[in-house]
Amino acid sequence: MENRQINFFKSKDFNTVLKPFKKGTVVKIDSFDIRENQKELNIGLFGWYAICPSKELKKNKLYYFSLYDEPLVLYRDENKNVRCIKNICPHRGASFFGGTLSGGVITCPYHGAKFSSGGSCQNLDRITCRHIVDNNYDNYAKRIHLSQYKTSEKNGYIFVHFSKKSETDLNNINEDTPVSNYELYENGFAHKDYVFEEVLVDFKCDWSRIIENHLDILHIFWVHGDTIPDKDVNKNVLVSFNQKININPKYIESIYYYKNDPTKEFIRIKYIPPGRILIYKGDPSSSRYLQVLDHIPLGKNKARVIVRHYRKFLQNKLLNNLLLFKETQRKIFYKIFDEDYMILKTQTYNHDMGFISKDEIKLLGEDRIINYFWKWYKRSEDNDKPWKNNNKTQNLDVYDKVILKYPPEIKKLEIANNIDIIRKTIVRFAAPLIFFMLII
């Protein structure tokens, strides 16, 4: 058995190594080539989150979700534009769950108030006795208004701009970052030439633990070594890499080059806060694969991941459907998520209990990017305070059934996917064979 070590860093205490780095210098230590000449990330926890694939938003369908425990609803209005409203009726605070959507008009299930896609109440008479408020009718009507966040639709994703608070007038929301930061084309990926499969999974663990997991290259070899179909991802044979980290206001990026072929990239991991990670297999300009991972902080220890796997393949839809088993790719993803799940759950517990503190753990060389993420996350939490509702939500899991759509018990998804594989195999291969046999 070959056993070559990943020579990222030589077992020095990570924090002591960090100190001498100054902005504007290029530092080379062992296999590290760290460019710190750029500024720090200037994006915090507010900004654009990819919430779901566009195809999830069907006509007249209300799509319930939450961000940092704030209950929200997505839907398409009469012009097919996406709306993101607070799932709280401005009359008496009921949820729209159980209500209806028709022609862009949403009706509350409690007293039947109807709201136009612009957000104003269309049937005030329904929820008030007109003669009581006659004097102040217009004023009252103005106050009964849906509260909303900005949305955008790009590359087949629905994005929501989560800001300090929702507004009745969207013009009052300033965008923290442009949504173009997240466009695949802007990130060096001509996605139109590619086909993709995607998987959505809900996790009952901390949101930031999952991001950290996707920034952590070392665990890939150990945890997923038997699952990822790549000869260099192996539990027993470790390949050496050089790592280069780029930090700039829009993203942080960690590039791994083969040590025995320093010009060749193995993998490039790019984190564009708050929620997106792009993983390129090799140099983006020539990469045949790209993974887009979106992390959605549904609430306290509740998070969703959307993973989309792009690959260069036949563009013809028919051939594509005939030859490509999207379910096989999905099967790999379910397995990978399942492999991570227990680790993420226990790590969440350990963190919430305060055990993952500086003096209880030691970050080593390759964890430099994780350390950077932790510091950024702490700083952003302190600045933005998105978890302000946290303490209040304990034991209030009324929304869980509505919001957790992709079972956190990943096994269920895996089984459903396996059944699909069997069904498709029979339809595609066995059925024509039986037909042929019947003929002869």
Binds ligand FES by CB under 6 A, chosen from 56, 97, 100, 111: 111
Instruction: Tell how strand 114-115 and strand 26-29 pair up.
Output: unpaired
Beta strands per DSSP E along 204-260: 241-247, 252-258
Stretch that binds ligand FES, among 16-24, 106-114, 244-252, 266-274 (CB under 6 A): 106-114
Q: Nearest CA to 154 among 364, 294, 1?
A: 294
As a whole number of angstroms, the distance between CA 377 and CA 298 comes to 16
The verdict on 108 binding ligand FES (CB under 6 A) reads: yes
Contact pattern for ligand FES over residues 69 through 98, marking x by CB under 6 A = --------------------x-xx-x----
Element (H, E) at 47: strand 47-53
The verdict on 110 binding ligand FES (CB under 6 A) reads: yes
Q: State which residue, 340 or 367, has the beta carbon closest to Fe ion.
A: 340
92 binds, among ligand FES, Fe ion, none (CB under 5 to 8 A by kind): ligand FES
The verdict on 340 binding Fe ion (CB under 5 A) reads: yes
As a whole number of angstroms, the distance between CA 192 and CA 194 comes to 5
Stretch that binds Fe ion, among 20-28, 240-248, 334-342, 411-419 (CB under 5 A): 334-342
127 binds, among ligand FES, Fe ion, none (CB under 5 to 8 A by kind): ligand FES
The answer to whether the beta carbons of residues 280 and 287 sit under 8 Å apart is: yes
Assign 305 to helix, strand or coil: strand
CA 264 from chain centre, in angstroms, equals: 28
Q: State which residue, 225 or 282, has the beta carbon closest to Fe ion.
A: 225
Q: State which residue, 253 or 340, has the beta carbon closest to Fe ion.
A: 340
As a whole number of angstroms, the distance between CA 39 and CA 36 comes to 8
The alpha-helical segments, DSSP class H, found in 224-290 are none
Q: Which of residues 194-213 bind Fe ion (CB under 5 A)?
A: 213
For 19, phi then psi, to 5°, come to -55, -45
CB of 96 to ligand FES, least distance (A): 8
Where along the sequence are the contacts to ligand FES (CB under 6 A)?
A: 89, 91-92, 94, 108, 110-111, 113, 127
Where along the sequence are the contacts to Fe ion (CB under 5 A)?
A: 213, 340
